[in-house]
Amino acid sequence: MPRAAWSDKRERQYEHIKEGLRERGEDEDTAEEIAARTVNKERARAGEAKQRSRTSVQDISSGRRGGLRSHRGPGGRTKAQLYAEAKRKGIEGRSTMNKAELQRAVDR
């Protein structure tokens, strides 16, 4: 990875993101890749990178995007996530349930 061009701040950011991903159960290689991509995107947004894609600059920031997709908002977890949790809990009849029904069954 081209980390030699990163500032001390970006290096700390990379380590922080990588450690957070490792704590959530990601393997080392995946955590490193996601952290590097996130730091490089933030560098592009801040004008620190020589090259940048249009989406890196125009898309919402990585931190905000992660917050929006954390499934704590009004939509909550997806139906697929609820179904997977219901399956883990052994809830019968889950295949015929809609999202609201799955939510109620999983929350019991």
- Average pLDDT over every residue of 14-22: 93
- Asked if 82 and 103 touch (Cβ cutoff 8 Å), the reply is yes
Tell me: the pLDDT tens digits for 46-89?
888 777 777 777 777 766 766 665 555 556 788 888 999 999 99
Task: Give how far Cα 46 sits from Cα of 32, 39, 51, 58, 60, Å.
Answer: 21, 11, 12, 12, 12
For 10, other C-beta atoms within 10 Å of its C-beta total 18
Count H helices, E strands: the chain? 6, 0
